[in-house]
Amino acid sequence: AQKVTQAQTEISVVEKEDVTLDCVYETRDTTYYLFWYKQPPSGELVFLIRRNSFDEQNEISGRYSWNFQKSTSSFNFTITASQVVDSAVYFCALKDGNNRKLIWGLGTSLAVNP
Amino acid sequence: DGGITQSPKYLFRKEGQNVTLSCEQNLNHDAMYWYRQDPGQGLRLIYYSQIVNDFQKGDIAEGYSVSREKKESFPLTVTSAQKNPTAFYLCASSIQGRLQETQYFGPGTRLLVL
């Protein structure tokens, strides 16, 4: 069965600290896609990144970076030099060929304090 | 600007009342989705539609109904059969509903029971 686990329910950091949000997934399919979304207090889900199972290259976008490791079924998200505006709930999600619906983790609530 | 709009932002339902949540997109996407979000939980799929005049039940369709008469619109009705409707409802769309596609979300509607 497909599953996404975000073990960290809440994280609190001080501004400028680096923070890593963990995501572990389960799937038996060889073709799948992983996603990260940000949900700020306003509620709207903002798409951050999509990664397919055949591309294990890490990605960097400004202060954001993602580490995809198939060997450990993980797709972790790091924010470098965090800012107060990064405070939000972050969701990791999985979509595979067996179940084309998005399977969501429960989210990690990140609080960045000034 | 292209995007997804949801209205109203807040909606109040009385006992035994049906209410309809609006979702409109001008992204020219074929596929549209409705999710429910409860506190501390991930998103759960209610209904989805990959083409006009066709839709499928998601994981928690009981007590809900949808229609897809136009490509741009996918309204969700919360019926009186839904005994616990208080939640945050999110509408999303993607190009054609294929495995590799990203889903983009609207700002959400918060439904409260009086």
Rounded CA-CA distance B8/A34 in Å is 31
Predicted confidence at residue B42, as pLDDT, reads: 84
Q: What is the mean pLDDT of chain B?
A: 93
Query: Residues B49-64: pLDDT tens digits?
Result: 999 999 999 999 999 9
Which residues of A lie inside 8 Å of B (Cβ-Cβ)? 4, 31, 33, 35, 37, 42-47, 50, 52, 91, 95-97, 100-102, 104-107
Query: Residues A63-89: pLDDT tens digits?
Result: 999 999 999 999 999 999 999 999 999
* Residue A26, helix vs strand vs coil: strand
Predicted confidence at residue A48, as pLDDT, reads: 96
Neighbours of A82 (CB within 10 A): 22
Q: Averaged over B20-44, what is the pLDDT?
A: 94
State the smallest CA–CA distance between residue A38 and chain B in angstroms. 11
Nearest residue of B to residue A52 by CA position?
B100
Q: What is the mean pLDDT of chain A?
A: 94
Looking at chain A, the whole-number percentage of residues with pLDDT higher than 70 is 97
| pLDDT confidence band for A99 (50 / 70 / 90) | low
Q: B97 — contact with chain A (CB < 8 Å)?
A: yes
Rounded CA-CA distance A52/B84 in Å is 36
Predicted confidence at residue B5, as pLDDT, reads: 96
Predicted confidence at residue B100, as pLDDT, reads: 79
Predicted confidence at residue A50, as pLDDT, reads: 94
Rounded CA-CA distance A95/A33 in Å is 5
- The residue with tokens 């995501």 is A23
| pLDDT confidence band for A57 (50 / 70 / 90) | confident
Predicted confidence (pLDDT) at residue B79 exceeds the cutoff of 70: yes
Predicted confidence at residue A96, as pLDDT, reads: 84
Q: B99 — contact with chain A (CB < 8 Å)?
A: yes
Predicted confidence at residue B1, as pLDDT, reads: 65
Q: Specify the higher pLDDT residue, A107 or B81.
A: A107
Q: B102 — contact with chain A (CB < 8 Å)?
A: yes
Q: Averaged over B85-108, what is the pLDDT?
A: 92
* Residue A31, helix vs strand vs coil: coil
Neighbours of B44 (CB within 10 A): 16
